[in-house]
Each structure stands twice: as structure tokens, then as C-alpha cells.
Amino acid sequence: MFHRDVDEQIRLQLAMPFHADQLFELTDRNRDFLRPWLGWIDATRGPDDSRTFLSIQLDRFGKGQALTTMIYFDGLLVGVAGYHSIDQANRVGCLGYWLDQGHTGNGIMTRVVQDLVNAGRECYSLGRIEIRCSTENERSRSVAQRLGFMHRGTCRHAEKVGDVWHDHDVYVHENV
Ligand SMILES: CC(C)(COP(=O)(O)OP(=O)(O)OC[C@H]1O[C@@H](n2cnc3c(N)ncnc32)[C@H](O)[C@@H]1OP(=O)(O)O)[C@@H](O)C(=O)NCCC(=O)NCCS
């Protein structure tokens, strides 16, 4: 089973369909927290929706197109992070992530994203690693800034979440 130990407390586990029930439970518990930023929340209505997502991601992992991991903190599932797209021809990876609200504020995601940057370089030889987040998502922008990602631009009306259009800040970690 693929996993990476980020440190003594944090383990990343390759996301698999059998995680569906616990992933849905975590998602359902964090709906109100995640809804402003993640457009797929309201379409995730039951464990089967989580299972479909996990099956698709596992298939894409097998093709080298994505890497989705479950974040465990002291053995407890607390979030999801990974490369939602990997372009091996151009050595570009795009990171996405979310945490259980009760586990924010402790540096968990900063440590996870640093490890995923390392994994992207080691396993996929990525040259350019991107984080795109709403210009209003201060906590997500802070993760990128804390890890030395450079702000390379803003995309207008990049994503519609619910009824709200968001501009995206593009942060890049380059090694080209
Ligand atoms: C984005 C998100 C993952 C950020 O979570 P977070 O808890 O702020 O990030 P971290 O886990 O890295 O924790 C950072 C906080 O812990 C603190 N911290 C404590 N120990 C730390 C350590 N060892 N290293 C880094 N930060 C540490 C930091 O000071 C920071 O607190 P502050 O914001 O009060 O200054 C979370 O807000 C979330 O899931 N949001 C909803 C979904 C979402 O927006 N996803 C991103 C879409 S682009």
C-alpha cells in the first residue's frame, strides 16, 4: 500500500475506493466550512459519490495523471491533498487540498504540501508545481506563500463556486 510518512504524526496514504465511507463522513461533517471554496461539495451527497471520485482518481494515478492522498494525523483521517493534474510531457503538477476544520491552524497542510512538492520532484521530475486558489482564500494563499511559492498572476473569473465567480491567484514553485 503506497504511503509517505511526512513526520511522526502525519501520514499520506494513496486514496483508494475503500476509503469512500470515511471520506464521505469527513466531507459531510465539513460541508459548511468547505462550501465557499470547493465547487463539488453539493454534488457529493453520499458515500457512492466519494467512491466514484476515488475510483476515477486511482485510475488517473495509474496513468500518471494525478496523485490523490488521504491525510492521517495521529491515525485519524483529517483531509485530502495531492496533484489533481500531472502533465508529464511538460513536467507540470497542480496541487489541491482541504482539511477538517477542527485540524486547521496547526501547520498540518503546510507540512503536507512541502512533502508533496518533494514527491513531485522525486517521483515525477516536476519542474513547475502550481497552486491556484481564490484571491479571497487567505488561508490557502498563506500555505503557498509560507512554502516559497511565487505569485505569477491572477486569472479573472476562473471558477464558479455556487453562485459566486472567483478570480484565481496562481502560485508557482519552479525548478526548471
Ligand atoms: C486551505 C487550508 C487547508 C489551510 O489550512 P491551515 O490550517 O490554515 O493551514 P496549515 O495546516 O498549514 O496551518 C497553518 C496555520 O498553523 C500555524 N502553524 C502552527 N504550526 C505550524 C508549523 N509547524 N508550520 C506551519 N504553520 C504552523 C500557522 O501559523 C498557521 O496559522 P495562522 O493562519 O493562524 O497563521 C484550510 O483552510 C482549508 O481546508 N480550507 C477549505 C478548503 C480550501 O480552501 N482548500 C484550498 C482550495 S485552493
DSSP secondary structure string, 3-69? Answer: EEE-SSSEEEEE--GGGHHHHHHHHHHTHHHHTTT-TTGGG--SHHHHHHHHHHHHHHHHTTS-EEE
Q: How far apart are CA 102 and CA 77, in angstroms?
A: 12
Residue with cell string 496547526: 106
pLDDT number for residue 24: 98
- Position 35: which residue type? R
What residue owns the CA closest to ligand 1's atom 31?
A: 105
Q: How far does Cα 137 stand from its chain's mean position?
A: 14
Beta bridge partners of 169: 133, 154
Q: State which ligand 1 atom lies nearest to the alpha carbon of 100.
A: 39
Task: List the chain residues with pLDDT less than 70.
Answer: 1, 176
DSSP secondary structure code for residue 149 in this structure: P
Q: How far does Cα 79 stand from its chain's mean position?
A: 9
Q: State which ligand 1 atom lies nearest to the alpha carbon of 143.
A: 12
pLDDT number for residue 175: 82
pLDDT number for residue 1: 63
What is the DSSP pairing of strand 128-134 with strand 92-99? parallel
Q: Quote the cell numbers at residue 151.
A: 505569485
Residue in 122, 38, 42, 120 with CA at minimum distance from that of residue 85:
120
Q: How far apart are CA 135 and CA 141, in angstroms?
A: 8
Q: State which ligand 1 atom lies nearest to the alpha carbon of 134.
A: 48
pLDDT number for residue 81: 98
**Ligand 1 center from residue 144 Cα (angstroms):** 10
At 138, is the secondary structure helix, strand, or coil?
helix
pLDDT number for residue 176: 66
CATH of domain 3-174: 3.40.630.30
